[in-house]
Structure 1
Amino acid sequence: MKRGRNIEPWLKKEWIAEQKIYRIDPDKKEKAMAEIRAEAKEQVLWYQPGLPEIMAGQLQYLSAGYWILQGALLAVMLAVMYWMNRNAEDAMACMAAGSAFAAFAGVTGIQELGRSMAYHMTELEQTFYLNIKQMLALRMILFAGMDLLFLTVLAILTRQGTDWGIGELCIYLLVPFAASHIVYFSVLTLVKNRRARYIQTGAAILSVVISMMPAMVQEAYRTASVPVWTGILVCMLAVLGIQIRTLLQKAAKGELLCWN
Structure 2
Amino acid sequence: MIAFRDLPDDAPELDLCPLLRAAQMTLQYAVEHGGIELTQTKAFKRVFVHWAAEHINWPGMGYEELFRYNKVLNEYEFPPLEMTHFLLTQLKLGRHYKGRFKATKKGAALTAHRGKLFGELVPFFLLSIDHGSYSRFGEQPAGNWDTWLNVINVEADHGANEKQIFKTFYGYEASFAEGNWREAAVFSSCVLYPLEWSGLLDHIETKGADGLTERHYVKTDLWRSALSLETDGMLSAIQRH
Same fold (TM over 0.5): no
- For the pair shown, the structure with the greater C-alpha radius of gyration is 1
Structure showing the higher helix proportion among its residues = 1
Structure showing the higher strand proportion among its residues = 2
TM-score in terms of structure 2 length: 0.29
